[in-house]
Amino acid sequence: MTKQHRTFTPEFKREAACLVLDQGYSDAEAARSLGLVESALRRWGN
Q: pLDDT tens digits, the chain, 46 residues: what are they?
A: 677 888 899 999 999 999 999 999 999 999 999 999 989 888 887 6
Q: Which of 32, 34, 30 is nearest to 21 (CA)?
A: 30
Is 4 a member of any domain? no
Is 2 a member of any domain? no
Count of domains for the chain: 1
d(CA 44, CA 10): 10
Q: Which residues contact 27 (CB under 8 A, 6 or more apart)?
A: 20, 38, 41, 42
Is 18 a member of any domain? yes
d(CA 40, CA 8): 11
- CA 28 from centre of chain: 9
Q: Are 17 and 24 in contact (CB under 8 A)?
A: no
Predicted local distance difference test score (pLDDT) of residue 46: 67
Is 3 a member of any domain? no
The parent domain of residue 23 ranges over 10-44
